[in-house]
Structure 1
Amino acid sequence: MTGHVSIDRVVVVVPARNEEELLPRCLSALAVAVADVGGAAGQKQPVVDVVVVLDRCTDGTAAIAEIWPGIESISTNSGAVGAARRAGVRHLLPTSHLFTSATWIASTDADSAVPPNWLSAQLTFARNSVDLVLGTVVPDEGLSDGVRERWDAQHRLVEGHTHVHGANLGVRADRYLQAGEFARVDRHEDVRLVSDLRSLRVSEIRTELIPVLTSGRLTGRAPAGFAGYLRDQAAEALS
């Protein structure tokens, strides 16, 4: 792929399980990021659709999502974050012919808050022939001082970083489909997708320009998710 590539549609997928406390922060930040999206010179502003995937929610998460302006919500019972992300994409892109090079898929999490330039920066990369954008995450104030010190020592959030986070990932829709979509698994669906994309030799960028604030809690909603990683860091800090 060479030259400038127009993007006329953006779909944003947010899996959520019992996130009534943090979902408002997530959706407020997304609203700012959506408002920041504009058309490139000589191009129309893309349409942006956001879907919250309510996966086995038993609290007030669904009620928040249903009344939030500018988003859609769907319910699933998969209990697997990969299946939830996949279902969200398929809700907004229900048929294969919609997975075009002019459509961009952005993924984040309900316990996270994207920066204002989260989408506009991804679209700038996409319009310059990048197929995959991998951003960084930063734990919020819920992380204890000792664990944060260990986190900071082990994570250099720089251009060309080595991290993969489903909370901060963007991909061109046609390449996503070619890679087989998010796997219906309860962990590491982001890493698996990126591995499959790299096997296709897609053009990627690993950037620190769009850091996503994410929950610093040690008890998470997904097995082996980010909270589990932080919990392991805490245990090592105490050992």
Structure 2
Amino acid sequence: MKISIIIPAHNEAEAIAQCLASVQIAIDQLPSTFTASVLVVLDSCTDDTLRIVQAAGVDYLCCYYQCVGQVRDMGIRYAIANGATWLACTDADSTVPMDWLVQQMEHLDQQKTDMICGVVSIDNWGHLSSQTQQAYITHYQDKMGHRHVHGANLSFSKEAYLAIGGFAALACHEDVDLVNRFEAQCYTITWSNRVRVSTSSRLQARAKEGFGAFLANLEKVSWS
């Protein structure tokens, strides 16, 4: 099996080196029967993200969509054209544990699945109120069979992705839209808390209705 890890990036110079390092460690844990590669899709970057990606020696594409749905789809279709059969998505402000890919492959070995929806952990609660932390913990289902969708921790087969038409050109909630279409077409989805990533708790969201915006809204409510 050939795995491709797709990472969209818009001005992520502060975070992407750590992300790429964690992904490489996860790749190194795979048995030799698997091959894996990383592809960063840089969207309208004006900082040092490109230089950092080049220094890391990973493959990359550049675009100017300012639309995460188009960015993800561009990267995934490029990876598929280059032989990828399993696509794993994360984000440039996230890090993955060393067993991130191994856990995905174990799910595939245990049962036929077309998609894996993983969970996220918050990397740092220090700048957020205790009320926000408690509200998040109360809301979040960190268990098998959860129903959370994160573009930072989403993986799927080439065949299913192409059959449902891929990520839509949406500036936000492109991940939820993709999962909804997988479900509508009766593809098998594994909702796993064994597959997890650590994601940024920054409140300055790249997508105005993304995860950072969700945390910012919790913080706003906690102080109201």
Residue 203 of structure 1: CA displacement?
Answer: 1.4
2:5 pairs, out of 9, 12, 29, with 12
Which residue in the other structure is 1:30 paired with? Answer: 23
Which has the larger displacement, 162-171 or 126-135?
126-135
The SS at the match of 2:187 is coil
Alignment of 1:137-176 (within 5 A): 137-141=120-124, 143-146=127-130, 147-176=132-161
Which residue in the other structure is 1:3 paired with? Answer: none
CA-based RMSD of the aligned residues comes to 1.4
Residues matched between the structures, number: 221
The SS at the match of 2:156 is strand
* Separation (CA, whole Å) in 2 of partners of 1:91 and 1:65: 17
* Separation (CA, whole Å) in 2 of partners of 1:13 and 1:198: 22
CA contact (8 A) 2:129 2:219 kept: no
2:108 pairs, out of 114, 126, 135, with 126
Report percent identity of matched pairs.
32
The SS at the match of 2:60 is strand
Q: Which has the higher helix share?
A: 2
1:83 pairs, out of 53, 56, 70, with 70
Structure 1 gaps of 5+ residues are: 1-7, 40-44
| TM-superposition CA deviations, 1:74-109 (whole Å, max 9, x none) | 1010001111111111222238xx57xxx1110000
Structure 2 gaps of 5+ residues are: none
Structure 1 runs (4+) deviating above 3 angstroms are: none
Residue 126 of structure 1: CA displacement?
Answer: 2.0
Whether 2:116 is the aligned partner of 1:114: answer no
Q: What letter corresponds to residue 113 of structure 1 in structure 2?
A: T
CA contact (8 A) 1:181 1:193 kept: yes
Query: TM-score normalized by structure 2?
Result: 0.94
Residue 191 of structure 1: CA displacement?
Answer: 0.5
* Separation (CA, whole Å) in 2 of partners of 1:223 and 1:90: 25
* Separation (CA, whole Å) in 2 of partners of 1:51 and 1:113: 15
Which residue in the other structure is 2:184 paired with? Answer: 199
Q: What letter corresponds to residue 100 of structure 2 in structure 1?
A: W
Which residue in the other structure is 2:38 paired with? Answer: 50
Query: TM-score normalized by structure 1?
Result: 0.88
* Separation (CA, whole Å) in 1 of partners of 2:59 and 2:208: 26
1:63 pairs, out of 38, 51, 69, with 51
* Separation (CA, whole Å) in 1 of partners of 2:97 and 2:184: 30
Residue 64 of structure 1: CA displacement?
Answer: 0.3
